[in-house]
A and B are shown apart, each in its own frame.
Chain A
Amino acid sequence: MANINIDSQKDRTYDAIVIGSGISGGWSAKELCEKGLKTLVLERGRDVKHIKDYPTTNMNPWEFEHRNEMPYAIKQENPIVSKCYAFHEDAAHFFVKDKEHPYVQDKPFDWIRGYQVGGKSLLWARQTQRWSDFDFEGPARDGFAVDWPIRYADLKPWYDYVEKFAGIAGDKDGLPELPDGEFLPGYPLNMVEKYFKQSVSSQYPERKVISARCAHLSKPNQIHFDQGRVQCQNRTLCQRGCPFGGYFSSNAVTLPWAAKTGNMTLRPFSVVHSILYDEQRGKAVGVRVIDTNTKEEIDFYARIIFVNAAAINTNLILLNSKSNRFPNGLGNDSGVLGKYVAFHNYSARIYAEYEGLQDYTTEGRNPAGGGYIPRFRNLHKQETDFLRGYAAGFGAYRGTSADRSGAGESLKNNLLNPKLGNWQVGSHMMGETIPKESGQVTLDTKKTDDWGVPLLHIAVDYDDNDAKMKKDYLDTMEDMFKTAGFTNIRRDDGSQAPGLDIHEMGGARMGLDPKTSMLNKWNQIHSVPNVFVTDGAAMTSTSTQNPSLTYMAFSARAVDYALAEMKKGNL
């Protein structure tokens, strides 16, 4: 009885299959369904319905068993995910636990994952900066990776398109290195952030401090109300899932929209084993899935397939999709699949205090998090002994503190009457890393996971360029902090491994030449034209900007292209 629907191949055939339901998969699903294609969306984890499945979203701090602190035993059992800043009692249920999904670290790499409907779109830090030609022209100008097959002009209309729907708050800053978009009102900088902005620009006119752009509904438009969302309430409890739909997630935005068309079939608990390739027809015909509840192997079929499993898992699926035609992974004629995996260097921070502006403070919470410093290093030309550069976050808040010495009535009184202290300021680096052939993910030849999928090896590391860039970031920020009169400056060149930035990219890169890349300018596999990859795996280089907005734009653009090709009979 239960399997009646999957007994016939016809019932397992769709117009399109989307692998993954995170930020990019949600967009692929929405676009495909809206354009009338019967679409199967496969998600390896459980379902998470908007609002209904956000169990902690309205909890007060005292309602958490350990006041949001993770118990010692859980931290010991999960050393990797415990390093993630958002892994606390309020959101732990949205993170993959180390033991449940092992992988092999050939080099230290903290792989942070969210296996559920919506994926990491529930958990992301929501920073949404466009990439520019300073990014897309980077590899060609500086001689690394391969040239991007697109430029900003190719993506601009699609940034416009996804921003209007997703809702992006930001100011129009008029910076060519960080193009303006279709913004809702930006969040204001506070007094010290503004002061720092002025201090920096008076000393270094080419360096800008702007309000960070983020996927929050600062002032929703009709399209957002139509999605069932309302204004962001500035709770900054986003990682729990937002009952207001105040920030963009697949769960709140794209997936419900796709479902409304009646064209989406969402199938959770479906681990994709591989993509099925038909040698006679010379194209992919479907996807092999392991049902995680029954361990049953089921094949689904479609005319086109979108791979949106998140960068590293997309590599894993393609590598595991072997056939006589593609013995080294689907579409891997070039041999570059799984290589040139890179990330963002988030390994340095710097903190200080400011003793001025004592007559000001802030109230409430800023969803944008504060300021953003777009890349200025090596922007127009090569200036340093390292390639590329970094963007930086910058934020200030007015600290309060209480004298905690002693015990008794005086202590109690002190605790209940905290005093405003100096402004506390902080910055973190977001460095571009250079994709290298040695930055690889590979499949284990013997060991498999619980679903018979080979275990993944990750060998991605920092290099000398990253070390030099980190030093420059710290020196430069320290200098700007000193110029601004900040005191008690503390450099933190933390030793975090790659991965914790949660911006892993590449492995199935785009390029002009099929001999050196996996995907063409439409995110289409060169040699398997009915398979598209529009998540982080497609990235040729890493830029300094957060990548998610670009994945959204790539997804919408690739669906538009795929539809046109289907109409022409090419797919």
Chain B
Amino acid sequence: MMNRRTLVKQLFIIAGGIAILPSCLREQGGASIVLQNIKLSASDEDFLAKLAEIVIPKTDSPGGLELNLHLFVMKMVDDCESPENQQVFVKGMQALKDNSESQTSEQLLTSITALEGHKEGDEAAFFKIFKNRTIQGYLNSEYVMKNKLIYKLIPGPYQAAVKLKA
């Protein structure tokens, strides 16, 4: 007999601390995580997932999609950004999504790279927040902190004068 705890655990996929409800919300056309302040649909989420994979693509190591960075961005925008930023995030995302509907990933990469040069406009404002949060999620992900830029809870003795190899 499966105990309740194990069962509950299996209902959630824990992605970097975010509990994802895999089916019920999405079946109703909503996002797969609970959002309190911003409203995103399943198709918005798919678009953000596509963007996250473009910003941090899968190479010989996992990319944005596999690391669920889009969910991290959604969570952080929902909880940690100001209402003004939340508004511009949703508005800018909608505009970019509409404008890039027929674009391939390569074309989208060109579009978002171009957005970085723009100081104004909702799309640029959206992408700035999206990219910062994606990078934050990536660098603070369990994968990167365990395999790439290794974080040590106990770092060992403080070495005040480490000579670098030439």
Contact = CB atoms under 8 A, between A and B. Distances in A.
A363 B140 contact: no
A60 interface: yes
B34 interface: no
B159 A407 contact: no
A412 B116 CA distance: 16
A61 B158 contact: no
Nearest to B81: A72
A415 B158 contact: no
Contacts of B135: 404, 415
A235 B155 contact: yes
A204 B145 CA distance: 44
Contacts of B144: 416
A274 to B, nearest CB: 42
Size bracket of the B interface: 35 or more
Interface string B62-94: 010000000000011001111000000000000
A261 interface: no
Given A235-B155, A418-B149, A407 B109 contact: yes
A362 interface: yes
A499 interface: no
Nearest to A233: B154
* Interface class of chain A by DSSP: loop
B59 interface: yes
Contact of A363 (B63, B131, B159): B159
B157 interface: yes
Contact of A61 (B79, B151, B155): B151
Contact of A62 (B113, B142, B157, B162): B142
B17 interface: yes
Contacts of B82: 72
A406 B116 contact: yes
Given A72-B82, A418-B149, A188 B158 contact: yes
Size bracket of the A interface: 35 or more
B21 interface: no
A363 B160 CA distance: 7
B145 A66 contact: no
B164 A359 contact: yes
Interface stretch (B22-30, B40-48, B50-58): B50-58
Contacts of A176: none
A56 to B, nearest CB: 11
B158 A187 contact: yes
A404 B59 CA distance: 18
Nearest to B19: A65
Interface string A39-62: 000000000000000000010111
B145 A408 contact: no
B136 interface: yes
A191 B160 CA distance: 7
Contacts of A62: 16-17, 140-142, 145
Contacts of B151: 60-61
A292 interface: no
A171 to B, nearest CB: 13
Nearest to A366: B158
A496 interface: no
A307 interface: no
A553 to B, nearest CB: 28
B65 to A, nearest CB: 13
A376 interface: no
Interface in B137-155: 137-142, 144-145, 148-149, 151, 153-155
A416 B159 CA distance: 23
B134 to A, nearest CB: 9
B156 interface: yes
Interface in A57-87: 58, 60-67, 69-73
Nearest to A244: B154
Contacts of A66: 75-76, 79-80
Interface string A70-114: 111100000000000000000000000000000000000000000
Interface of A: 58, 60-67, 69-73, 187-191, 193, 233-235, 237, 358-367, 404-409, 411-412, 415-416, 418, 420
24 contacts: A60-B151, A60-B153, A62-B140, A63-B17, A64-B17, A65-B79, A67-B76, A234-B154, A234-B156, A234-B157, A359-B164, A360-B162, A360-B164, A362-B158, A362-B159, A362-B161, A363-B158, A363-B162, A364-B157, A364-B159, A365-B155, A365-B158, A408-B57, A412-B56
3 tightest A-B contacts by CB?
Answer: A188-B160, A364-B158, A363-B159
Given A66-B75, A407-B109, A407-B113, 15 more contacts: A63-B17, A69-B76, A70-B80, A188-B160, A190-B160, A234-B155, A234-B157, A359-B166, A360-B163, A362-B160, A363-B156, A364-B158, A407-B131, A411-B56, A416-B148
